[in-house]
Amino acid sequence: MTQFGKPLTRTETPIPGLVVFDLPVHGDSRGWFKENWQREKMTEAGLPDFGPVQNNVSFNDKEGTTRGIHAEPWDKFVSVATGRIFGAWVDLREGPTYGAVFTAELDPSKAIFVPRGVGNSYQTLEPNTAYTYLVNDHWSPEAEYAFLNLADPTIAIAWPIPLEQAELSEKDKKHPPLSEVTPIPPKKTLVLGANGQVGRALREIWRDRPDVEFATRADIDLSNPGSLTEARRWRDYDTIVNAAAYTAVDKAETPEGRTLAWTINATAVATLARIATDNNITLVHISSDYVYDGTKEGEYTEDELLAPLGVYAQSKAAGDVAAATAHKHYVLRTSWVIGDGNNFVRTMASLAGRGVDPSVVEDQTGRLTFTSTIAEAIQHVLEVRPEYGVYHVTNTGEPTTWFDIARHVFELTGHDADRVTSTTTSAYFANATSPVAPRPANSALSLDRLTATGFEPEDAAEALARYLSA
């Protein structure tokens, strides 16, 4: 019997992500009313903001009508408009809870969120029962489905009306037992720019994950944004990590470089953001300290107004704005990136070993960011799922200059740090024969927002020593 006046509450089940909701139902002598789906209230109560695209209703004439067990590659929010059902849900996803069962009765005052890959079935307990459900994808013949026999003894569902007395379709009677069901794999994560420094760091920490795809420029080319929409069946993806970028800071000041910088760093990101929103994907986008002009004293917070100086900086700032249009997004802003490949630290170590005494600028201040730290931060936010938005990611410690870092590299590699001399940015580029992009003088980024999520980056000096000893 429908219960009136209950508050909106959620109850967890033994199946991860399968959540029962009590719905407020208001009744009088005329009948009753309820808000069956109310995004703001329900997401505040803990319902995932799953982005439904379709509402279906299944009307059942007879008591004992039984349907399922079907697991589809989308999420469902199931409720009852009239009547009453006995529902049974079986986890058919890959993982440790595969085969777990949960049962409950639903009337108009209860609903249940069924995550992708959990088998759904029900039996009507009253005639004229209307079973309704919201789904966040459209049916596709290319999607992966799983079906389980309603009478499988290994799951032993105690149907209130024995199945031999119930109304079943011939198709449902012939579904396989659990031992023959192919589990539904998780949605995939796509890493763009997989051969870059951040991409290689992600390969290292995610190398054992079969659900992660690594795409190089040969696989997906961001310089051709028009091809992105058809590059994948995007509904199969949960996350896009955009570690690809045009990073030739000075070449971006040339006509050809300007076009490539804006295409890859801005236009392509806008396309990815639209793809992410249309397909309920989380977009993780790697940004840069260059979006600031470097004139501030002290650390930049994520809420500072953008003030990019050069073409590269402007294209990255535009990319940040574009990425933020994705409904689910994390923009991770970094500085002075060091990883597997050519970079400042490797150059200084090479010069030290070859007997070259460099002159290094001392009027740019910031912190090193090792790609292992960026990769760990990406993994952290995707596991913890803090509030969507912008997060600064660098290693910790006092901000320093390129000159001080160069001296430290010489010391750590067993060379005399006094071989490094200081200069200014303007003096260093005084004799340049090609365009030179302006550099921010201050690249120190506040880490308070990131550390508040529970992530503690490694100290930059310790990370530098480890990096050089590897």
pLDDT (tens digit per residue) in 81-137: 999 999 999 999 999 999 999 999 999 999 999 999 999 999 999 999 999 999 998
Q: Respond yes or no: is residue 428 known to be catalytic.
A: no
Mark which of 132, 153, 180 sits at the end of a domain: 180
CATH number assigned to the domain comprising residue 37: 2.60.120.10
Residue 453 within any structural domain of the chain? yes
Q: Do both 192 and 170 map to the same domain?
A: no
d(CA 322, CA 228): 15
**CB burial of residue 416 (10 Å; 0-12, 13-18, 19+):** exposed
Report DSSP state, residue 267.
I
Q: Which among 131, 133, 292, 330 is annotated as catalytic?
A: 133
Single out the residue of 365, 375, 428 nearest to residue 398, CA to CA: 365
Find the domain containing 371 and state its range: 188-469
Extract the tokens encoding 360: 């290094």
Q: Do both 125 and 37 map to the same domain?
A: yes
N-terminal to C-terminal alpha carbon distance within the chain: 67
Q: What's the confidence (pLDDT) of residue 2?
A: 59
Helix intervals (H) in 101-149: none
Q: Do both 105 and 219 map to the same domain?
A: no
Single out the residue of 148, 143, 157 nearest to residue 178, CA to CA: 148
d(CA 392, CA 295): 18
Q: Respond yes or no: is residue 131 known to be catalytic.
A: no
Q: What's the confidence (pLDDT) of residue 470?
A: 81
Q: Do both 214 and 148 map to the same domain?
A: no
Q: Do both 314 and 442 map to the same domain?
A: yes
- pTM of the full structure: 0.88
d(CA 336, CA 392): 12
Could you tell me the sign of the dihedral formed by the alpha carbons of 264, 267, 271, 277, in that order? positive
Single out the residue of 324, 305, 343, 442 nearest to residue 388, CA to CA: 324
Q: Do both 201 and 323 map to the same domain?
A: yes
Q: Do both 197 and 108 map to the same domain?
A: no
Q: What's the confidence (pLDDT) of residue 30?
A: 86
CATH number assigned to the domain comprising residue 297: 3.40.50.720
Single out the residue of 78, 86, 83, 72 nearest to residue 112, CA to CA: 78
Q: Which among 70, 145, 327, 388 is annotated as catalytic?
A: 70
Q: In what order do the strands lie in the sheet with 328-334?
A: 212-215, 188-192, 237-242, 282-288, 328-334, 389-392
Extract the tokens encoding 114: 């069924």
Mark which of 180, 200, 235 sits at the end of a domain: 180
d(CA 272, CA 229): 8
Q: Which tens digits make up the pLDDT trace of 389-423?
A: 999 999 999 999 999 999 999 999 999 999 999 99
Extract the tokens encoding 230: 């058809």
Residue 340 within any structural domain of the chain? yes
- Split into its structural domains, the chain has a count of 2
Residue 28 within any structural domain of the chain? yes
All residue ranges of the chain with pLDDT < 70 are 1-5
Q: What's the confidence (pLDDT) of residue 31?
A: 86
Mark which of 180, 204, 221 sits at the end of a domain: 180
Q: Do both 207 and 268 map to the same domain?
A: yes
Q: Do both 383 and 292 map to the same domain?
A: yes
d(CA 276, CA 109): 33
**Residue type, position 205, single letter:** I
